[in-house]
Structures are given as C-alpha cells and as structure tokens.
Structure 1
Amino acid sequence: MSVSVTLPALGESVTEGTVTRWLKAEGERVEADEPLLEVSTDKVDTEIPAPASGILASIKVAEDETVEVGAELAIIDDGSGAPAAAPAPAAEAAPAPAAEAPAPQAPQAAPSTEVQEPAPAPTAEAAAGGGSAEGTDVVLPALGESVTEGTVTRWLKSVGETVEADEPLLEVSTDKVDTEIPAPASGVLLEIVVGEDETAEVGAKLAVIGAAGAAPAAAPAQDAPAPAQAAPAPAPAAPAAAPAPAAPAPAPAPVAPAAPAAAPAQAAPAAPSIAPAVVTPVPSTPAPAAAPAEDGAYVTPLVRKLATENGVDLATVKGSGVGGRIRKQDVLAAAEAKKAAAPAPAAAPAAAAAKAPALEASPLRGQTVKMTRMRKVIGDNMMKALHGQAQLTSVVEVDITKLMQLRARAKDAFAAREGVKLSPMPFFVKAAAQALKAHPVINARINEDEGTITYFDSENIGIAVDSEKGLMTPVIKGAGDLNIAGISKKTAELAGAVRAGKITPDDLAGATFTISNTGSRGALFDTVIVPPNQVAILGIGATVKRPAVIETAEGTVIGIRDMTYLSLSYDHRLVDGADAARYLTAVKAILEAGEFEVDLGL
C-alpha cells in the first residue's frame, strides 16, 4: 500500500511552499510523525512529518522547488507489505488476529485477554476523527487577530496516554507561525477528533480529555505492522517450548509490540506468567523507533544538526521551550557559553583583547550556499520598493545630551517600576510619533491603482529588528497614543518575540511608518530604503560624544555633547524635500528639548 505525502495548509494566506531540505532519502525507512522534510513559506520555515510508517519510495518535489498547497511531495510505501498498510485499516486489523488467535494459541488465553476488545474501539474513532468520548474538550484557541484556522501538525500525546494540565498536547501551524497547545486539564487523552495535517477553525474541538479507562486505546492502532513481521515466528516457536513463549505472544496479541509500557502493566494482574511473553518481543520491534527520541523529548533535526556543528551535548542543555523542549536558541546559547569558557584559562591575552577584539574567520568563506526563503522575500520587497518609488534621503544632526542625562537619572527607578530597561529607542519613537501627527504627509500611502492618497489617523510604527532569519519589522500599533513606558514595554515584547521565533502575522502587519536603528551596530547614519506601501522611514545613527558649539547666556562655548544623526528616506512622488526637512526639524526639536519628565515620573 502507498501513502501520499502532500503539502498541508500552513495558514490562511499561504498558498504555496518551497521544499528547502529532505530529511530522508529515497529507500530510507520512516516512522509515522517523524520529520520528513523542511518547507519554507513567507517568513517561516517548518517541518512536515511523515503521515505513516514505511519506506520513502519516491520523492516527487526536489529541493528548492515550489509547489501549491495540496500538491504531492512524496510517496511512502510499505516495503514488505505490512508497515504502510497498518495505519489505515488499524481498526480492521485488530479484530483479525483476535479471531485467529484461539485456534493456534488455545493454551494461551491470557494474551487474548490482554488485547481487550474495548481498547481498539476508541482508536478507530480517533483515526476517523470522530468519537463520542465524554470529558474536557480541547479546542483550538484564538491565535491572533486575523487567524481564523489552524492545521494540526503533530500530536505530542497518543490516545490513552496520561496528560497533565498545561502540558504541551499538540502542535498547530497557522499562517507563518507554529505553536503548541497545552492540555486544559489533567487526565487521559480519550479521543483525538482532528488528525494530523487536518485544518480546523478557531474554537473547534480537537480532542477530549477524561478519566482513565481508554489508556490502552492507542496501542492497537500502531500494532498492525507487528503481526505481519512476527507471523513467521510460530514456526521456530514449536521446537523450543521453553524459550519460545515470546514468539507466540505477538501473533495473538499484536498490542504488545506497539505498547511496550502499557501491555506489561495489564498482563501482570491477569496472569504473571504472561509478562515475559509480552516483554520479550518488545526490544526487537520498537528499538528503531526509540532511537530518534532523546530521553523522551522531541528534538527537531535542525536543533540536532546545530548541536553537532557546535559540539554541544543536548543532554546538558536545559530547554526554554514549552514543556522544557530544547530550541535553537538554547543550543546557540550553550555554544556561546562553551566558547566563552574555553579562553578563560588564558589570562595573558586579555589585555590584548581589550585593545583590539580578535576576529575569527567565518566558516562561510569560500562557500556557495543556497539563498534562504527569508532572504529572497526581503530582497524582493526591497527591489519592489526601489523600483516603485522615487527615493532619496535627508539628514540632520541632533544634540541629545539632555535626553541622555534624563535617561541616566530615571533608568533605575523606571526598570524597577515598569519591569523593562529604559533604552534611548522609546524616546525616538515617541518624538517620531508626535511629529507625524503634525506632518501627515509623512504618515501616508499612495494608492496607485485608484490614484489617491491615504493620510492615516493613527501612528502604527514598524521597528526594524535584526534576527537570525533576517530583518523583521514588528509594529507598535497606536504608538502616538502611548507614553514612554508603553512604548518601552511593547518594543521589548515585539523584539523578544522576533528573536525567539514567536512573532505572529498580526504583529508584522499594518505599519504606516518605520524606524530603523542602524546606530545600534555603530553606523553613524544610513540611507535606509522605504518599505512598500509607506512613504518614509526614519534611520537613527549611533550616539557619540564629540565637541560641539553651544550657545549659552554667557556666550558661545565648546563642550562635549552626545550627538547623533537622523536620516529620513522618503518617496519623492508624495514627499518633497521641504516636507522631509520640516518633519526632521520637528523630531530634532522634541529630542533636544528632552521634556519627558512626566512620562518618566520625575
């Protein structure tokens, strides 16, 4: 039997995906739910799991090829005839061995008792996506303002397993974001209503958690492969009656191989002598399946690869993800800690390092690598903006000495009161938003198809954030109505979500104006590119101390001041040079006045 692997729906607005890497090669063995390939969509990379166990017979879509949602990616074949056929007719396969068992295995009534007819029933219902189990419903929660549905990518628990409240239960993928859904209550997973790769609307029932009783239900669904492989075993079992109880056991009771933990527990009270027969075949069949797991925790191939490249032992890494799962950021942090610990014994080079930081050669030197999907999207957007707009840049110099002194006075109390650090960035955002209210031509959009101009009545400011995947611009909605504390909290929240890979589509949409802090990396100023559907972007340069001419009551003097450059790139089709200069002058005046005492509680 063959099972088709198709590209699932990855979000409401996602219609296609690009295969970036196959994790298995043709002819390799794959297990159900094991990561099979990596697919990239706009802004997000995700893994597609195998829908069934078997042999990867054919790969239909090569790496770097783009296909639409629903397109066939590969074919998984049963190979020997059993593994692939099991997942679909699981409900039919279970009763068959039970009916045949009494004839060849008359003396072993205990194994057939262990099968327990009620157990396969919930599994069949779960496989069909239905059922009538009673208990606590697990529903798909609201995952964003514009998200109306989600696709179940992986169940972290099987029917019959015990779950704890708030424990990760399943993974759901929406447009551009993957997330984990926790269990709403403690109990036993009685029923799975929405299977993997199926899409459900927000509020739809995904599963049912209830009291114990259906715990072994998941076992029969995964056991169909075992009877076929164990079928030849009865022949050698006949000559050696003493050591052979293990071989006859799988034939009448296919439950044993797929549920090594639950089966012995049930066998013990029924007939203690059956325990060896159940345990003996377990090591032979499930051993390959146990290998990919690490101490029972799921670790993605990307994390494993990253750990191998950096020489990080995953057993020593503490996961920061939900349920303690190890994320890419955890591995990178462990690698940095390892590097920092290595040169510690050498105290002598410390003085030299203070004068000139040592630069290590990048491993990318001399290599030709594939361009990531994110890099392509950024490139396309930048080229679209440059080709569709008449862009140029104006620059002003700003003395922010008073602002920096004000920040130094307030930062400790501010951090204690608000729970976030007080960086200079919120002051620039506040000044930019205030000036936008007086200069609406900067906070506008050209509607080319209609030949109209929209002047926005709110200041939704995008903040350019540098991340491992590339530049992202989460949006502070209604920035003009926020104080310094509100802007600080929102900036920290959005930047943290970007770097942790938890940013949502809603957070990235709706910007009317953008700010890019290129000075955070030491640049004096930059000619930043105006994003599509906007007419201006503000660039903030590095703040440096240098001598400047100061007008005082006593006369003109020279003093050491905190100086920075502000650059405004704009679309000359709507914004004239005089408009840009007036806006920059307004922002400069707000920053140099430094009248933020009320916001800071001073």
Structure 2
Amino acid sequence: MVVDVVMPKMGESITEGTILEWRKNLGDSIEKDEILLEIGTDKVDSEIPSSHSGTLVEVFANPNDVVEVGKVIAKINTDEDLTVIKTEETKIETPDLESTKISSHQNEVKVRSSVKKVQFGEQKKFFTPVVLKIASEEGISISTLETLRGTGRGGRVTKRDILEYIKDKPETPIEEQPQKVTRISDKDVVEMNHMRKLIADHMRSSLDTSAHVYVITEVDVTDISDYLKTSEVSFKEREGFKLTYTPFIMSAVVKALHANPDMNASIDGSSIVYHKHINIGIAVAINKGLMVPVISKCEELNFLGLCRKVNDVASRTRNKMISPDELQGSTFSITNFGVFNVTMGTPIINQPNVGILGIGTVKKRPVVIENSDGDSIGIRSMLYLSLGFDHRLIDGAGGSQFIDSVRINLEEMDLNQLM
C-alpha cells in the first residue's frame, strides 16, 4: 500500500516549512524512524524520520521549495498492515498535486538524486543516517563509532549517545563543508544558507519596525566575580556544569522587569500589550548562525533554577535538540557578546520585544572608590551593559531607569542567599 508523507507541524505558530534536503532518493528503501528529509522553518531546522518502512516512490517537493503544513510531499510504498497503524498522515486530505508530481512510469521509477551521501567505507554495525551525519560533521571515524556504547535497541548508537560523546571528548577542529561558490572575475558569490537568510530577514525587519535607541552603563561585578571563583569547583561537582555570569544577570533583569513593566511589553498596532509572565530569550551562537531559545516564566524560578534552565536550553540549542516552540514567546532578550572578548555593543531588538540587553566582557580596571573616609583607587572587575530599546514605547528616561535598576541589582545582590 502507498502512504502519504506530509509536511509536519513543527510548532503551534508554524504554517509552512522549507525542504532543505532529501536524505533518500526515489527508489531507495527506508526503515521506520530512519531520517527521510531535513526541513527548515522560520524557527529551526529539523530532521524528519519516516513513519513507515518501505520504498520512496514519489516526491512532490524539491530542495528550497516552501510547502504548507499538511500538504503531501512524498509517497512511500509499504508492506505494513495499516489497519492497525493510526498515523497523522491518514487524517489529512491529500491535495491534487498532479501538476507538480515527479514523472514516473507505471512499473518504473526514475531516480534523480541531489542528495550527497557521506561514504564511511565498510562498517560492522548499523548506524542511522542522523548518527552518520553528525559523525561526518564532527570528524568522527567509523572505527570510533563502533567503539561507542549504544543505549538504543540491540545496543544501537542513538543521536543522544553520539552527542554525549561529542560533549565529553576534547575539542578538535571540524572541517567545514564547502559552500557553493560562483566566481565572477575578482569576486566570489556565495549563496546564503537557510539560517542566514532567516537571520538577515529578521534583522532587517527589526530595524524597519523599531525605533532603536541605546543607553550604556558600567557595572562593578567584583563580588560576583569573586563568588564565581570560590564556587566554581563545588558548583560543577554538584550540578555537572559551569556557573557563569548569565544567571546573575538574568536574575537582576527579572527584578528590573518587575519594576519596569513597559520593558516587558510589546506593541500591536496602536495598542500596548503588557505580558503577565517574564519570558527571556537568550542569544546562542551556533555554527555560522544564531538562535534565541526562550526561558519562560522566569519570575517563578529561583537562582538555581535559572542556572539549570540557561545551561539546558543553551546546550540543547547547540546540539540541535531545541524545539520550535521553545524559540518563540520571548518578552525580553539578552545577548552576551562578552564571551567573545567584546567590551560593548549595540544589539538589534528581537521582535516583538521592545528591549534587549547586551553583556560585555568582564575586565579588571582601576576604579575610583568612594566612601565616607575619602576616595581611593582600587582594581575592580567591571563590565559594560548596553540596552537597546524601542523609542516608540519607551523614552530615554524609562530606558535609563531600567538599565540603572539592573546595575543596582547586580552590585547589591545578596550572594549569601542565592543557593
């Protein structure tokens, strides 16, 4: 029996997806749960497994085609007993796609492949395409794969197994796959990948939407820096990950947003939408791109909860395990360019937010210290915070009050009551 493969719904607000790559060619056999194709949305790229075992007999969409959710994109000929299998696809009407169908003879299928397969040579064990793809990208040999202990059925190495191995192994340079390059005299013209196109569209749209204004302040984080040093070993032994400045800053921001509700709002036409919860998006740099996963209801999390959430969403984003629904719904955003040793910057607002906080690197500097006994000069750990805000809603006074509130919350934080 022939079954339909439809464009899946990747999130509540996702209405369409872009075909990035078919992992199987026409005429190829495929196992259930084996990766069939990769699709991209305006939130995230995802690998889509097959819901049936069988043979890929028809394809209705090519790479870079944009397809609505629920539309048929391929057909699989399967020997499975579908009377006992209830799948999502059988509940969706099949549109008339004869005009876009790839031609085929009655008893013969034309095979036209644009999929590049990674050749690993002979292997003793079976590995799924997603595991082989990750291994190829990370420079992991097949012999190394065969030594990994798998947690899947029959000891099979799963995606989680190889990601755990990559996380624990020493970092090694990754050989980048070459992009398509068109040479024109003294210039190289390189096609943007899917993610870069999305980033370009979002950044341009934000600049066209919001009236960006910036204020910058300097913060003394000496006490926090000392706390990080004294707690580094014990925290990592207890929690399994490194304690960073980000949760401290998030905690200060949450408190400031409570006191300045305009910064936790958004604009809808001529209306102002005040959000009941504080949902903070944190910018995470990934390979040749950027994603902003969201930590929801931050006001309900204590400091340790923020630490765990920040580590969790950042780790899953870098490992391509974040879901599209976790990339939307932010009410304020934070970006930490200080990790790249940058002193300060002017970040672009993440729509539909009205504010974004940029975090610079922490540096020791000579600072004038004022006290009742007179002024003195000391070496302090300092960082710059830069706030970008939408002047359509927030005036200079409001933006200045907010960033100063964040500064005070950081400098006066009760570190003894954190955990």
**TM-score tier after normalising by the smaller chain length:** 0.7 to 0.9
Aligned equivalents of 1:435, 1:533: Cα separation in 2: 19
Q: 1 or 2 for the larger relative contact order (CA 8 Å, sep ≥6)?
A: 2
**Residue number in structure 1 paired with 2:66:** 66
Q: What letter corresponds to residue 314 of structure 1 in structure 2?
A: I
Tell me, yes or no, if the aligned pair for 1:8 and 1:197 is still in contact at 8 Å: no
Tell me, yes or no, if structure 1 residue 387 matches structure 2 residue 388: no
**Residue number in structure 2 paired with 1:490:** 309
Tell me, yes or no, if the aligned pair for 2:215 and 2:386 is still in contact at 8 Å: yes
Offset of residue 395 of structure 1? 0.5
Alignment partner of 2:262: what SS?
coil
Tell me, yes or no, if structure 1 residue 194 matches structure 2 residue 15: no
**Residue number in structure 1 paired with 2:81:** 127
Q: What letter corresponds to residue 194 of structure 1 in structure 2?
A: K
Aligned equivalents of 1:438, 1:507: Cα separation in 2: 26
Tell me, yes or no, if the aligned pair for 1:459 and 1:480 is still in contact at 8 Å: yes
Offset of residue 74 of structure 1? 5.2
Say which of 299, 303, 311 aligns to 2:128. Answer: 299
Q: Deviations over 1:274-316 (max 9, x none)?
A: xxxxxxxxxxxxxxxxx9996554421x553554566532231
Q: Deviations over 1:327-380 (max 9, x none)?
A: 67468669965669xxxxxxxxxxxxxxxxxxx999669675543333333332
Alignment partner of 2:385: what SS?
strand
Tell me, yes or no, if the aligned pair for 1:514 and 1:538 is still in contact at 8 Å: yes
Aligned residues: 376
Q: Deviations over 1:400-424 (max 9, x none)?
A: 1122123333444444555553322
The structure-2 alpha-carbon separation of the partners of 1:329 and 1:536, relative to structure 1 and needing over 3 Å to count, comes to: same
The structure-2 alpha-carbon separation of the partners of 1:584 and 1:296, relative to structure 1 and needing over 3 Å to count, comes to: same
The structure-2 alpha-carbon separation of the partners of 1:417 and 1:48, relative to structure 1 and needing over 3 Å to count, comes to: closer
Aligned equivalents of 1:71, 1:505: Cα separation in 2: 19
**Residue number in structure 2 paired with 1:150:** none
**Residue number in structure 1 paired with 2:194:** 373
**What RMSD over aligned residues (CA atoms) do the two structures have, in Å?**
3.7
Q: What letter corresponds to residue 22 of structure 1 in structure 2?
A: W
Q: What letter corresponds to residue 47 of structure 2 in structure 1?
A: T
Aligned equivalents of 2:177, 2:321: Cα separation in 1: 28
The structure-2 alpha-carbon separation of the partners of 1:506 and 1:322, relative to structure 1 and needing over 3 Å to count, comes to: farther
Q: Deviations over 1:56-107 (max 9, x none)?
A: 5x6543321222245454577xxxxxxx6xx4xx5xxxxxxxxxxxxxxxxx
Tell me, yes or no, if structure 1 residue 556 matches structure 2 residue 375: yes
The structure-2 alpha-carbon separation of the partners of 1:322 and 1:398, relative to structure 1 and needing over 3 Å to count, comes to: farther
The structure-2 alpha-carbon separation of the partners of 1:330 and 1:364, relative to structure 1 and needing over 3 Å to count, comes to: farther
Alignment partner of 2:254: what SS?
helix
**Residue number in structure 2 paired with 1:433:** 254
The structure-2 alpha-carbon separation of the partners of 1:24 and 1:597, relative to structure 1 and needing over 3 Å to count, comes to: closer
The structure-2 alpha-carbon separation of the partners of 1:18 and 1:509, relative to structure 1 and needing over 3 Å to count, comes to: closer
**Residue number in structure 2 paired with 1:31:** 29
> What pairs with 1:171-186 in structure 2 (closer than 5 Å)?
none
Offset of residue 526 of structure 1? 1.3
Q: What letter corresponds to residue 46 of structure 1 in structure 2?
A: E
> What pairs with 1:190-339 in structure 2 (closer than 5 Å)?
193-195=85-87, 197=89, 295=124, 297-300=126-129, 303-305=131-133, 307-308=135-136, 312-317=140-145, 318=148, 324-326=157-159, 329=163
Q: What letter corresponds to residue 7 of structure 1 in structure 2?
A: V
Aligned equivalents of 1:511, 1:432: Cα separation in 2: 14
Q: What letter corresponds to residue 411 of structure 2 in structure 1?
A: E
Aligned equivalents of 1:335, 1:414: Cα separation in 2: 21
Tell me, yes or no, if structure 1 residue 19 matches structure 2 residue 19: yes
Percent identity between the aligned chains? 34
Say which of 340, 365, 368 aligns to 1:546. Answer: 365
The structure-2 alpha-carbon separation of the partners of 1:199 and 1:338, relative to structure 1 and needing over 3 Å to count, comes to: farther
Tell me, yes or no, if the aligned pair for 2:4 and 2:90 is still in contact at 8 Å: no
Aligned equivalents of 2:152, 2:359: Cα separation in 1: 36
Tell me, yes or no, if structure 1 residue 456 matches structure 2 residue 267: no
Alignment partner of 1:514: what SS?
strand
Aligned equivalents of 1:8, 1:401: Cα separation in 2: 52
Aligned equivalents of 1:415, 1:55: Cα separation in 2: 48
**Residue number in structure 1 paired with 2:100:** none
Q: What letter corresponds to residue 68 of structure 1 in structure 2?
A: E
**Residue number in structure 1 paired with 2:116:** none
Aligned equivalents of 1:70, 1:314: Cα separation in 2: 37
Structure 2 runs not aligned, ≥5 long: 93-119, 182-187
TM-score, normalised on structure 2?
0.76
**Residue number in structure 1 paired with 2:406:** 587
Q: What letter corresponds to residue 39 of structure 2 in structure 1?
A: V
Alignment partner of 1:466: what SS?
strand
Structure 1 runs not aligned, ≥5 long: 77-83, 91-125, 131-192, 201-290, 341-359
Tell me, yes or no, if the aligned pair for 2:30 and 2:56 is still in contact at 8 Å: no
Offset of residue 472 of structure 1? 2.2
Offset of residue 31 of structure 1? 1.0
- Which entry has the higher C-alpha Rg, 1 or 2? 1
Q: Deviations over 1:128-177 (max 9, x none)?
A: 232xxxxxxxxxxxxxxxxxxxxxxxxxxxxxxxxxxxxxxxxxxxxxxx
Aligned equivalents of 1:15, 1:362: Cα separation in 2: 31
Alignment partner of 2:407: what SS?
helix
The structure-2 alpha-carbon separation of the partners of 1:198 and 1:490, relative to structure 1 and needing over 3 Å to count, comes to: farther
TM-score, normalised on structure 1?
0.55
The structure-2 alpha-carbon separation of the partners of 1:551 and 1:13, relative to structure 1 and needing over 3 Å to count, comes to: closer
**Residue number in structure 1 paired with 2:344:** 525
